[in-house]
Chains A and B, each alone.
Chain A
């Protein structure tokens, strides 16, 4: 609305006095015969007066009435003065086809200068489709006045489309050149249509179509890439914690997916808690990140100290045991929160679509998930490389006994490492609550994919996990258009299995002594 107000003012002052007179002059013509009516409609349309729009619309809907030469709007007001008038003897104005066709053009032209930007946009699109050389002049006038960039862009496309059917070849070329700079399927279809009608312009049109095609191909590639990166970032988030617990510690935790689920439910709980405090509500999501980290981390620490500790060196048993723990967690959440999906809202600053140049559309919450996943990866790397805890963790992984003799409490490091990995899963849950259903079996869908990412990227390598996740995400989205979503998933699984044949230790295999452990 704020954008339209100044425009309205400009329109009001810029409207020449003569045009207002033209409106009043032309109006009574509508009460005359069909010939007079058509002429009046033309004049009203050409005048570009905002008051003409409701009148013509009422006329096209057969709700305009007349009383002598007074034109009466459907609400009972005199169209010329805007005052209520006597409607007792009013009769409906009838029109014929000739008037109707005049109306269509006039309405389109009037809407081009409507006060509402949405209406102008719709008018530009309808003029784009109607394709008449008569629209060139009003479009040029509208473009000169237009202030909203999006509307202006569409109007220029409509102008180009109208020029395409002009009589003059030079004007046509102008239109072809403008359309060639667009990147829409509509423009392409329009040009191909014109190609059949204008054999002499084939070369120009072909050039323009080729330009559009290459731009469309680029757009498709960019969107596929983005979708792949988006999927990859989800996989990365889900797999990062696993890269710590499975990759670094060698503990296989099948309850990892349930820790992700716990994170998502923590997000829901934090959101509900924030409901009472309106100013806090938009920030419930950022607040959920540390909360989910803590909840899942504590659950992880409890699991490691309570159970996993007793099963070190027996990976198959650990796998089965943690699977059971996952089952219990899932059922507990199902009983506590119900089996149906819980709704986690997106804050306003995460919603909406971002339009990049070239017509590439990106949903903002997916963009945020990508940013968030990279942030989490950075934090994880920093925690391992730069902190005291990370140093102790690496020491214990490399040589447990030596680390213990150096005074590191290996049991405590184990618990902290596992809690850290589980906390990362919880943070993944916060992100997943934005793009997936928050339900008790949220985690099960990701667990197999996450293991694949870790194995594919190379056990024990965080960079491998990043490359693995992004690679699998993009690969999935590249295959999807040909094979469909399900077969793409199956194909990716098969590709991973074949890949492991060549490199059993993944993309980024650890070398040296650590690899033998």
Chain B
């Protein structure tokens, strides 16, 4: 399999790289301005609506998810079709915290139990809900639970050398199973309604400009942090070994590397990033339900990476933003067309544009 090499070489394409870097810097600066523009008076031409801030914040979370997928797929060749599950698990951890913060303000006014538990006849909080009233604990769980799941699934799979499409199908089955499980009412996660009607986070009411701006910057900080971390990671020896595993797994194994350990490390890290992205996503959109586990969601996230150009971290971001912008625009203009376009993207990118938009960009500037 001959995919792009890691973008750390300095021999060729320097002007293109600098151009890209500049464009990204400008894009991030522009993004950072968005919540400020939200504060302009309503009649100003530059005013950005609440909706735009929330939607862009959502895309930033998606971009982190895309980055996580790219780290595993683009660099280590692990195509997970279940990253949506890690994202959703992180979201559920945050959702549990937000549910606990509602306190006695629910429809039933129960001092401790969330509405759905009162409705389903729970007497007391299930043990796995304990601790979620603390914000740090919820964030910890948003990282720990996806990480642990990734560790178990990854360990069992990589150890018995399940690679390629087999691993993809296993991860797809994993998210499918989780979806079925979370749809059940007696799991204690709100069944098919999931969690919604959140009130506040860290003392700030969620439906205010301040909360939206805060979450937006938190997501942006997470994106920048993950980008720096991933960039650093792929430049280290670990990153080099991962690329080697991607291109010739058996050879790396025969050279004496523990392929399982390397793959497991990157897969767990990737899952943790996805979990954090999900944790920020939930307060931004105000709802989490088992639909987030749907296998289609995970595979859609994979196509963001493919469209942008896998094996390049910038490509993942580019893909996440462009595909989601296209989706938001098209689903409002011609909703019937969107699935054709998305399906067409899958076909076009794999057959005609294996290196994605970044590859196109590189060819054009060469």
Contacts and interface: CB of A to CB of B under 8 A. Distances in A.
Contacts of A316: 73, 79, 164-165, 168
Nearest to A484: B184
A96 interface: no
Contact of B342 (A314, A318, A327, A498): A327
Contacts of B22: none
Given A252-B165, A321-B350, A501-B160, A328 B177 contact: no
A27 to B, nearest CB: 61
Interface string A422-445: 000000000000000000000000
B295 interface: yes
A310 interface: yes
Contact of A315 (B160, B165, B342): B165
17 contacts: A315-B165, A316-B79, A316-B168, A319-B79, A320-B303, A321-B346, A324-B343, A325-B346, A327-B340, A328-B339, A328-B344, A331-B343, A493-B177, A496-B173, A500-B162, A501-B159, A504-B162
A335 B351 contact: no
Contacts of A324: 303, 342-347, 350
A486 interface: yes
Nearest to B339: A331
Given A321-B350, A321-B351, A489 B177 contact: yes
Interface string B6-26: 000000000000000000000
B343 A320 contact: no
A501 B153 CA distance: 11
Nearest to A314: B1
A79 B295 CA distance: 73
Contacts of B170: 497, 500
A326 B347 CA distance: 10
B169 interface: yes
A331 B340 contact: yes
A451 interface: yes
B251 interface: no
Interface residues of A, number: 40
Interface string A487-517: 1011001101110110010000000000000
Contacts of A135: none
A325 B164 contact: no
B184 A486 contact: yes
A480 B180 CA distance: 14
Contacts of A448: 169, 172-173, 176, 295
Given A317-B354, A328-B339, A504-B161, A323 B176 contact: no
A283 B78 CA distance: 49
A498 B349 CA distance: 35
Contacts of B177: 489-490, 493-494
Nearest to A498: B156
A490 B175 CA distance: 10
Interface of A: 252, 307, 310-311, 313-321, 323-328, 330-332, 335, 448, 451-452, 455, 484, 486-487, 489-490, 493-494, 496-498, 500-501, 504
A490 B187 CA distance: 13
Contacts of A313: 1
B176 A497 contact: no
Nearest to B183: A486
B360 interface: no
Contacts of B342: 324, 327
A182 B339 CA distance: 58
A320 B350 contact: yes
A455 B354 contact: no
B165 A320 contact: no
B181 interface: yes
Nearest to B79: A316
Interface in B161-203: 161-162, 164-166, 168-170, 172-174, 176-177, 180-181, 183-184
A489 B180 contact: yes
A323 B79 contact: no
Given A448-B176, A452-B173, A500 B160 contact: yes
B43 interface: no
Contacts of A487: 181, 184
B340 to A, nearest CB: 6
Given A316-B79, A321-B350, A493 B343 contact: no
A330 B342 CA distance: 12
A486 B340 contact: no
Contacts of B347: 307, 321, 324-325, 328
B181 A323 contact: no
The 10 A-B residue pairs with the shortest CB-CB distance, nearest first, are: A324-B346, A327-B343, A328-B343, A331-B339, A324-B343, A321-B350, A317-B350, A493-B177, A490-B177, A324-B347
A328 B337 CA distance: 10
Given A486-B181, A500-B160, A500-B162, A326 B169 contact: no
B166 A455 contact: yes
A323 B183 CA distance: 24
Given A315-B164, A323-B299, A500-B162, 4 more contacts: A319-B165, A324-B347, A486-B180, A497-B153
Contacts of A310: 351
A451 B351 CA distance: 24
Nearest to B78: A316
Contacts of B156: 497-498, 501
